[in-house]
Structure formats: structure tokens, C-alpha cells
Structure 1
């Protein structure tokens, strides 16, 4: 058993860490989620070598004393928030995650969608095989309607839970209570300073925006031999920020 555990730890240590930061209502995020990312994770040989997580927060921010930002979405408070409260920040102000309101780029329906997806991650025990189909289902409803106008987000969340095999009751309970506060705080705290969404980070290095479609070649570059068969079929040309 100890040998097996050591082997599993070794395999996990050799995995490439892939992080995707996005938001509901972002067409580029949805294109990546349903395109290059889905193709990558659908390959069992590749997926076994990837430590993946999706963070549904994107360009959102809490209103804080230092960064302000109440009312309509504004990129300047958002960049201030990322720097002071987001991934990699040190000595975060005590109001980074409330009591100020959350402002989302595409409005309050996006905020609700992001929170539902954060709760789905928690209910799925952070297993992307379980929560990514849920995220895709929710985000699909925003295609061509980035502000989610007319969407019944609670009904959508329930429908997407059913279609992805997650417990809609547990997700709803999380969304409506302190567990939801904790879940969305985790997404905000992890999201690094960035320009645009989607943000794709491979082993700590952020891809240049617009090149996320090259994620396969970037991941393959990071993997040690023997590499999955899919890697031999791709030209290696990563682009970093």
C-alpha cells in the first residue's frame, strides 16, 4: 500500500498544473471551455497527467475601501482589487471579501451564475469531471446574452445540476448560505491579476490572452517523457505573457 501511495504521489507531483479563470457571460471563456480545454481533458492519457481547476470569478471584484468600485463595473477598481486581494496578494485588507457588494462585468445575473458554479465545485468535491459539465451548461445559457437578461438563474442551476448528475438541493443550499460565501471567496482569492478573460495558467505561467487555443502544445512542453500520444501530433509553439 505504501508503495502504491508513493507511486500515486509521484504521479501527481509529475502532473502539469492547469488553471482556468473565467466567468459567465464571457464568450471567449465559453469558447475555450467547450473547445481546446474540452478536447484536452477528453483525452484520458493527457487528463491523467493534468491537475486542473476552473475558477468562476473572472473580472469580478468586491467593493472595498481601498479600491472603491460601487455601482457599474469599472476596470480600474477591478485591477486595484486583483492586486490587493486576488491571487498572490500579501497583507490583504480585511474587507477584501465583504461586507462590500460584488460587482461583475456582466451584471448581477453573472454574479449568481459564478456563485452557483463555485458551489457546484464544492458539491463535486473539486472533481472537474463532475463540475465542468455543470459550468458548461450554466454558461451556455449566456451565449448571445452576456448579461443573462430574462434568465431564471435558479431554474437554470437546477436543470444543469440534473443534467450533470450533481445534487441540485445541495448546490441550492450552498448558494443561499454561508457555504456559498466561502465558495465564491475562494475563487476571488485565487484569481491572479490579469488583463482579459479567459486567463489560462500552466505551471504558474500565464498564457498571453488570445493564445489559449495553444494550451495542448503548452501542456505537452511541460510534460516529461514518456509523453501522451496526443503530444507527438502537435507542434510546440507556446506563447507566454
Structure 2
């Protein structure tokens, strides 16, 4: 299911993020635009956004230098009274949410944890998410920090922290992916996030891509989701189960190929 374009994008992204030439000026550091992504690992729309949209940030050194990207892998999961939690797409989503939270904790630098999360979500996008551990080998990463984290209380602690941060969103999130630029949710226009970043940037020497013509692509929208999303309302429970079943079959077929 993965295209050659997707494979090349992953290869280029990895090279770019680990490149020692990637740097930012002091001015850009002081004026970075906050970009927050609230998501859940097995939501197909979250995977699509991480694999096919977020990498746009890293295609331009100037643009990457003005963005402070943070990921919150919790989404529409729900806390139980006993301190445990359930996830919209089943137990495997809880596992991968925790794995990705552990990656952020173990490798705090974006240039270290994003390639791993991208790799995992690319496998989700392909319906091969059960092969997520192959990302350690692909990226030449030590799996021990992640194994120790998600098999211990630390993984649970991290997820509870992300639960609190997600639940404290104002306005509350309605679905995932939920994209927030400088504290303002983008609602259904989340795929147009680069335009909002350009508009929010207050520093000098704005990236070349932030031209007036580009900023004019921002359009006013009502807070109703018209794009694909995984909603948190109860009515989605049946659809979530259906999608979980589809993912399982995709993974099975992927293993068989």
C-alpha cells in the first residue's frame, strides 16, 4: 500500500532531521510558533496527517526553524475509575500511544523522536502497525529505553499526563487530529496548518514560503469538521470497532504479502 513517494519522503525526512546543518537563529528561537498535534496512534486521519502533512515543515530550513512542534498521543482515550484507560481503536492503540509517549520521553529532541513516530504511523497508514518494532532497526535506535518505559509504570504515568493536557484543552477537542497553532485550534482547516504558522510568526526574516499570496489561502471557517477525523462522541464507538477490524485485516494481509 505504501507508494514509492512515501518511502522516499521517509528517507529524506530522516536525513534532514538528523543533519548537523539543521539550525535556527536566535531571533527565530525567540519567536517560534507553537504547533501542537493532539492525536491517537490508530486513527487513520492522525496517521495520514503525520505521514503526509507534518513533514512539510521539514522541507524548508527557514520554516522548520520557526516552529515549536509538540505531539500529544492520547486523543479520544478514556480514563477509568481505577486509573486505567481504554482507547478508541482498542488495546493495540493504547500500546502504541504509550510507545510513542515513551519515545518522546526517552528522546526529547524533536529530531530524535519524530522519525520514530513517523515510522510507526507510516506502518499504521499501510495497515502494518503490528510491525512497529521494525522501526528500531530501520532507524538504528536502541529499543531498550522504549521497552523499559512501556512495560513499567513510567509509560502509564506519561499517558496520564497526556490525558490531563488533552482534557484541559480550551476549547475542548472534538476529534483527532486536533491541530493547535499558538493556542488556537484550526478545526477542519487543519491541513492548511502552514498558512496559520506563517500568519502567527512575529519575528523578523519570515521564511520565504510565507508570502502574502500564501497567507491569503487562509479562509474563515466554522468550527465544524468537514475533513476526515476520529470523533470522541459515543456515536463513534461502532465505527471505531469497524475500523479496528479493518486495521486487523489490513495487518493480516500485509503480513501475508
Q: Structure 2-normalised TM-score? A: 0.68
Aligned to 2:160: 185
Name the Cα RMSD after superposition: 2.1
- How many Å apart are 1:238 and its aligned residue? 4.9
Is the alpha carbon distance of 1:11 and 1:140 closer, same or farther for their aligned partners in structure 2, counting shifts above 3 Å? closer
- How many Å apart are 1:55 and its aligned residue? 0.9
Q: Distance in 2 between matches of 1:11 and 1:39?
A: 18
Is the alpha carbon distance of 1:239 and 1:190 closer, same or farther for their aligned partners in structure 2, counting shifts above 3 Å? farther
Q: Distance in 2 between matches of 1:42 and 1:158?
A: 27
The yes-or-no answer on 1:201 pairing with 2:180 is yes
Deviation string 1:50-96 (CA, Å, 9 cap, x unpaired) is 111111111112113xxxxxxxxxxxxxxxxxxxxxxxxxxxxxxxx
**Aligned partner of residue 230 in structure 1, secondary structure:** coil
In the alignment, is the contact (CA less than 8 A) between 1:217 and 1:238 conserved in 2? no
Aligned to 1:69: none
**Aligned partner of residue 231 in structure 1, secondary structure:** coil
What does residue range 124-163 of structure 1 map to in structure 2 within 5 Å?
124-125=107-108, 127-143=109-125, 145=127, 151=130, 156-163=131-138
Unaligned runs of at least 5 residues, structure 1: 1-6, 65-98
Aligned to 2:57: 40
The structure richer in helix per residue is: 2
**Aligned partner of residue 130 in structure 1, secondary structure:** helix
In the alignment, is the contact (CA less than 8 A) between 2:103 and 2:146 conserved in 1? yes
The yes-or-no answer on 1:230 pairing with 2:209 is yes
Unaligned runs of at least 5 residues, structure 2: 1-24, 224-257
Aligned to 2:47: 30
Of 105, 123, 142, the match for 2:88: 105
The yes-or-no answer on 1:54 pairing with 2:71 is yes
**Aligned partner of residue 164 in structure 2, secondary structure:** helix
**Aligned partner of residue 209 in structure 2, secondary structure:** helix
In the alignment, is the contact (CA less than 8 A) between 1:124 and 1:166 conserved in 2? no
Deviation string 1:112-149 (CA, Å, 9 cap, x unpaired) is 00100000111112x22221221122223333659x6x
Q: Distance in 2 between matches of 1:110 and 1:183?
A: 15
Q: Distance in 1 between matches of 2:70 and 2:185?
A: 14
Q: Distance in 2 between matches of 1:206 and 1:163?
A: 34
In the alignment, is the contact (CA less than 8 A) between 1:25 and 1:145 conserved in 2? no
Q: Distance in 1 between matches of 2:220 and 2:116?
A: 30
Aligned to 2:99: 116
The yes-or-no answer on 1:213 pairing with 2:213 is no
Q: Distance in 2 between matches of 1:166 and 1:184?
A: 22
Q: Structure 1-normalised TM-score? A: 0.72
In the alignment, is the contact (CA less than 8 A) between 2:50 and 2:121 conserved in 1? no
- How many equivalent residue pairs? 191
- How many Å apart are 1:43 and its aligned residue? 1.7
In the alignment, is the contact (CA less than 8 A) between 1:119 and 1:174 conserved in 2? yes
